[in-house]
């Protein structure tokens, strides 16, 4: 199953108040395992970035002023997430902002039935325990050092959430199945390569003297020598 971990950074808390997306990050999973494929962009929100938002993600109005508009990147984003379940932490927040941007373009809106909210999932699995992304990373032993030095960022948060999500949905079993699939694929590839014909025959390593010595030896065996049947 293909899933996309998705995270946004914004200018504020509510699109209804005129706030916009300034960054989108996506990480692709197949069967709950990251494939290495990602999608990321910074966006010009066509408005200022309040100080409170800047202190969270570090993206200033000046930095974003020459970045593309959401409409410029929307087609590429929709192609990347097409057909996949969307996994988001506190999904109503990102979901609401994405649909506000899609409506503005306009493009078809996302549907809630293709969304997994890891915040709700964590609260069901660990009732009463802290369920922020940082708290879940600490619970599952996910390295937070990069976030501590670089702060928030949509793509970094996606990578952290991908590691957390694997644990929330039973990461050990998923990794075992993934390892088995990789091993089987490697064996299949090795078998295919073993029977693949060479594009050109290998050059002979026999010297002229060795060939002459072999011919002399075969001649000495007589007319019924087995060697003569294959020469």
First to last CA, the chain: 57
The 8 Å CB, 24+ separation contacts for 23-26 are 23/57, 23/59, 23/153, 23/154, 24/73, 24/77, 24/154, 25/153, 25/154, 25/155, 25/156, 25/157, 25/158, 26/77, 26/80, 26/81, 26/155, 26/158
Parallel/antiparallel/unpaired status of strands 115-117 and 2-10: unpaired
Beta bridge partners of 86: 4, 115
**DSSP3 helix / strand / coil % (the chain, rounded to 5):** 50, 15, 30
Distance CA 145, CA 138 (A): 11
Residues listed for the chain: 231
Residues that are catalytic? 152
SS3 41: strand
């Amino acid at each position: 199953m293909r899933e996309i971990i998705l995270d946004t950074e914004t200018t504020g808390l509510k699109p209804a108040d005129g706030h916009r997306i300034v960054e989108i990050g996506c990480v692709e999973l197949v069967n709950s395992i990251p494939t290495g494929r990602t999608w990321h962009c910074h966006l010009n929100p066509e408005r200022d970035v309040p100080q409170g938002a800047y202190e969270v993600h570090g993206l200033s109005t000046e930095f974003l002023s020459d970045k593309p508009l959401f409409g410029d990147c929307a087609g590429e984003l929709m192609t990347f997430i097409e057909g996949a379940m969307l996994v988001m932490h506190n999904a109503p927040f990102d979901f609401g902002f994405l649909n506000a941007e899609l409506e503005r373009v306009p493009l078809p809106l996302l549907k809630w039935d293709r969304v997994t909210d890891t915040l709700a999932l964590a609260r069901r699995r660990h009732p009463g325990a802290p369920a922020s992304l940082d708290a879940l990373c600490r619970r599952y032993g996910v390295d937070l050092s990069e976030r501590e030095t670089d702060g928030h960022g949509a793509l970094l948060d996606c990578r952290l959430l991908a590691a957390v999500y694997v644990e929330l949905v039973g990461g050990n079993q998923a990794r075992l199945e993934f390892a088995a699939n990789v091993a089987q694929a490697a064996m299949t590839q090795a078998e295919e390569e073993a029977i693949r014909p060479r594009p050109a025959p290998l050059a002979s390593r026999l010297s002229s003297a060795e060939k002459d010595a072999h011919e002399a030896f075969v001649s000495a065996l007589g007319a019924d020598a087995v060697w003569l049947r294959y020469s």
